[in-house]
Structure 1
Amino acid sequence: MTTTEAAPPRQISRTVWILVTARAVNRIGAFTLPFLGVLLTVEFGASLGETGFILAVFGLATIPSRLIGGQLADRLGRRRTIVLGLVGCAAQLWIAVSPVLWSAIAAAVLLGLAFEIYEPSSQATIADVTDPADRPAAYGLLSAALAAAGVLAGLLAAAVSHWDLRWLFAADALTCLACAVLVAVALPADRPRDRQPTTKVPVWRDRRLLLLLVSGTAFATLAMQLVIGLPLTLVEKGLSTSGSGFILATSAVVLILGQRLLRVQRLDDFRSMAIGYLLLAVGLVVSAFAQHLVVFLVATVFWSLGELFLLTRYLTQASGLAPEHARARYLAVFGLSWGVATAIAPLTVTRLLESTGPEGLWLSSAAVAVVLAALQPWFRTRLAPA
């Protein structure tokens, strides 16, 4: 596991640049998940409780998706698995054309089963071609590129959501297919060692990985609550759903500008993560009391900086724990944090919004972030190399 100081990358591999470009193409259309709950309530008339249950089912479906992606990455190779996963995500076309609620539910489940297949391969590819000391910057480059595409994604979402939310899902499906073509054509072919038979690795016996999974799940749940809860909060406050698009765009700009912090800050993983959680907590507190879009945008600046510090460090730690021949499987297991979070967050968001309102939702989330910041010295001792 890497706990060294962050430093500018000495050289970014051509493979990383290709992968980053392809994922950015995909990200231009990937603004649908924050609107899935709104689509279910506004277009299909689902209640908050029903919406929370459906989104939780979607989240559960992403769990086997991530594990399948890790196995395929080590068996079939990175490029083939990425292409397969992106093509599967084009199932969003089904959501776009669904005439009734049950059809949209079936499409959401299918999307969940394909949603995470390409992630272990993408993350493992970066680790494969990057020195450990350079991985925070390499993962940061991926985050910055996705954020740059997210600026356009947010503006498109703001514009298209005025027209018909279904077009968001159609656009995302098309960008998934475009990204799959780019990866298939430009990413280097899988090498023989990438397609060797998968050897048995006691992934689930690695206690450090399991502890990192627990910590990562807590972070992912907070992040997913923002993705799902902010659009619903805007509805609760009587603000336009197009505000979610501007929030996405603002978050993307912050991630791009904040990328510089990853190059100049000299803190190790755990100090960086403590700072990240505190920034996240500030953004959540501001969100709790916001009444106008401008205030929500101020909150976005804080929680986006927090997420920037946290996500790159979590990926660096997870990839550092893994032996090279099982890296995709380690990252797949760690990535379950997002599947679990995607199942938990819709339930916590909808129930807290119904029972305590936006204030209770975001203040309780901020309290969790503060606790996680305080626990980082404890995590340092438990995750130290054996």
Structure 2
Amino acid sequence: MSAVATLTGPWRGLSRTVWILVVARAVNRIGAFTLPFLGVVLTVEFGASLGQTGLILAVFGAATIPSRLLGGQLADRLGRRLTIVLGLSGCAIAQLWIALSHTLWSAVLATILLGLAFEIYEPPSQAMIADVTEPSDRPAAYGLYSAALAAAGVLAGLLAAAISHGDLRWLFVADAITCLSCAALVALALQSDARLGTDKATAAGPAVPVPPDERQQVVSVWRDRRLLLLLAGGTIFATIYMQIIIGLPLTLLEQGLPKSGIGIILAISAITLIAAQRLLRVQNLDDFRSISIGYVLLAAGLVVCAVAGSLAVFVIAAILWSLGDLFLLTRYLTQASGLAPDQARGRYLAVFGLSWGIATTIAPLTVTQLLESAGPRGLWLTSAAVAVALAVLQPWFRKRLAPA
């Protein structure tokens, strides 16, 4: 078997649409290293206090909640492709605004705009992947999506490490450029939603007529208790994840380590995800067993982070929690897309994706408060304890998320 066949083995047979989305998102990911630096920029470049930085980042997180809901509504009403382009263009405008700001208030307004556009892309892209893949292929499709982000993350981390030696505002310029590049690729290379539906129907065989009253039925996603339970679990996971993104740069800054170390850690984390995709047979595990293992590895990385005092030890911590992410990220998406009926997939994924908006609101406050009151060790040990609790609770989740 050739090297290429070995590398792409789990993903052979996925549709062209999935590959285009993956490539476009990878292009965007190369520049999407600004969020971990946003707190540092507000503190260093604009003179915000630690408490002010936490509040501003919390406002950013709150803004992503309507952003995600808007993305789901637009995905189901205007179409996936147009919604993706609109979301990425909005992010580019906000990033350039941050880069050109000269006062804290201007940066705050730009940060709010960034939050309002930040999540519009995700529901349509995740829904489109589910639209063109069978349920059995979705773990592989979302796995490819994560692997591409990880591969791009290597370049992102190295680029961040290089640019961060100078003016951090250039990070936002680079991110704006990649957002616009990603939007252009989607607009020019991706087929229209109507054409995608035709291609899927042709591949699946003769269409089964749907009664008009069923087509017009409004699906209330908020009445699906399994989705709400999955949202609760996903929110706790996302909060831990965002605490790493926001808390790690502030921890390094507090311990006097170079800010360029953040980019190095991001690159090592991405390399770990790519290598582990090939070495570990994660696809052979069911969702709940995979999630349990992921939380144990995540907790181990957080414990190491709690005792770390040098960049080398932080790298070890990053390897451990990145292995945990491998078991966690794709499984939550697989579960959420599996709950959704076809006509409401964008809205289901948007509601589930609120976990990230809520987490991005909560995490800045918990990070800054715990850093001030308990220090880095208290922050990371608390997060590790929550991860262990989620690992233990997976059998309970299995029972309650089972099909009715």
TM-score, normalised by the number of residues in structure 2: 0.92
Q: Runs of 4 or more off by more than 4 Å in structure 1?
A: 261-265
1:73 equivalenced with 2:69 (yes/no):
no
Q: Deviations over 1:251-291 (max 9, x none)?
A: 11011112225645522110100000000000000000100
Q: How does 1:23-102 map to 2 (within 5 A)?
A: 23-90=25-92, 91-102=94-105
Residue 189 of structure 2 corresponds to which residue in structure 1? 186
1:14 equivalenced with 2:35 (yes/no):
no
1:345 equivalenced with 2:347 (yes/no):
no
Contact 2:282 2:290 in 1 (8 A): no
Out of 232, 245, 248, the position equivalent to 1:230 is: 248
Out of 167, 172, 177, the position equivalent to 1:174 is: 177
The 1:71–1:264 alpha-carbon spacing in structure 2 relative to 1, beyond 3 Å, is closer
* Corresponding letter in the other structure for 2:161: A
Contact 1:75 1:198 in 2 (8 A): no
For structure 2, the residue ranges without an aligned partner over 5 or more in a row are: 1-8, 198-214
* Corresponding letter in the other structure for 1:79: R
Offset of residue 325 of structure 1 = 0.8
1:288 equivalenced with 2:306 (yes/no):
yes
Contact 2:140 2:283 in 1 (8 A): no
Q: CA RMSD in A?
A: 1.7
* Corresponding letter in the other structure for 1:81: T
2:355, 2:181 → 1: CA distance?
28
Offset of residue 133 of structure 1 = 1.1
Offset of residue 318 of structure 1 = 0.1
1:263, 1:116 → 2: CA distance?
30
1:325 equivalenced with 2:363 (yes/no):
no
Structure index of larger Rg? 2
Q: How does 1:269-308 map to 2 (within 5 A)?
A: 269-308=287-326
* Corresponding letter in the other structure for 2:261: G
Residue 221 of structure 2 corresponds to which residue in structure 1? 203
Residue 125 of structure 2 corresponds to which residue in structure 1? 122
Contact 2:46 2:104 in 1 (8 A): yes
Contact 2:139 2:283 in 1 (8 A): no
Offset of residue 125 of structure 1 = 0.8
The 1:17–1:262 alpha-carbon spacing in structure 2 relative to 1, beyond 3 Å, is farther
Offset of residue 8 of structure 1 = 3.3
1:381 equivalenced with 2:399 (yes/no):
yes
Q: Deviations over 1:14-60 (max 9, x none)?
A: 10000000000101100000000000001111111000000000000
Offset of residue 199 of structure 1 = 5.0
1:262, 1:138 → 2: CA distance?
16
Residue 4 of structure 1 corresponds to which residue in structure 2? none
Contact 1:66 1:116 in 2 (8 A): yes
Q: Deviations over 1:138-187 (max 9, x none)?
A: 10101110111110110010010001100000100110001000000001
Out of 148, 158, 162, the position equivalent to 2:161 is: 158
Residue 250 of structure 1 corresponds to which residue in structure 2? 268
TM-score, normalised by the number of residues in structure 1: 0.96
Q: Which deviates the most, 8-17 or 144-153?
A: 8-17
DSSP 3-state at the match of 1:164: coil
* Corresponding letter in the other structure for 1:8: P
Residue 208 of structure 2 corresponds to which residue in structure 1? none
The 1:192–1:137 alpha-carbon spacing in structure 2 relative to 1, beyond 3 Å, is closer
* Corresponding letter in the other structure for 1:123: Q
Contact 1:137 1:263 in 2 (8 A): no
Contact 2:11 2:144 in 1 (8 A): no
1:45, 1:148 → 2: CA distance?
34
* Corresponding letter in the other structure for 1:47: S
* Corresponding letter in the other structure for 1:326: A
Residue 357 of structure 1 corresponds to which residue in structure 2? 375
Q: Deviations over 1:319-348 (max 9, x none)?
A: 000001100100000000000000000000
Aligned residues: 380
Contact 1:8 1:263 in 2 (8 A): no
Seq. identity, %: 77
DSSP 3-state at the match of 1:191: helix
DSSP 3-state at the match of 2:258: coil
